[in-house]
Amino acid sequence: ARDAGELVGDYVGEIFDGRAKDARYLGIGELTAEDHEWISSRKARGISINGHYIVNVGMDTYIDAEDPTHANWCRYINHSSRPNVALKTLPRGMDGRPRAWFVTLRVCAPGDEL
């Protein structure tokens, strides 16, 4: 079991800014050469480009866990009307990189869906 307030795991993925998010996922603004390369790589590897795994950590910084080669299991934590975990974010963590992580809101027993 996990007590309330315990770390569940870090939400990891590719880091980018709002300009890249808007251009790559929403078609807003000009695509750069880097954007075109990113899109081509995703398509070549069969990775979707739908934006369902993007987390805004603040200061125009986003974590994108859609590509499983950059993500971990935390991308599968579900939305719930009665959540048992909460997402915490920092635009700049102790190491200077953005950070997002989940903590338990109440006791979670083994087998509980998160």
pLDDT tens, residue by residue, 33-65 = 999 999 999 999 999 999 999 999 999 999 999
Residue 2, pLDDT score: 93
Query: 93 pLDDT exceeds 90?
Result: yes
**What distance in Å separates the CA atoms of residue 45 and residue 62, rounded to the nearest whole number?**
22
Among 96, 29, 7, 4, residue whose Cα is nearest residue 57: 96
Which residue, chain included where needed, has tokens 């050469």? 33
Which are the contacts of 102, defined by CB distance < 8 A and separation ≥ 6? 7, 8, 9, 11, 74, 77, 85, 86, 87, 88, 114
| Element holding 86 (H helix, E strand) | strand 85-90
**What distance in Å separates the CA atoms of residue 41 and residue 18, rounded to the nearest whole number?**
20
**What distance in Å separates the CA atoms of residue 85 and residue 6, rounded to the nearest whole number?**
9
**What distance in Å separates the CA atoms of residue 40 and residue 36, rounded to the nearest whole number?**
6
Residue 78, pLDDT score: 86
pLDDT band at residue 79 under the 50/70/90 scheme: confident
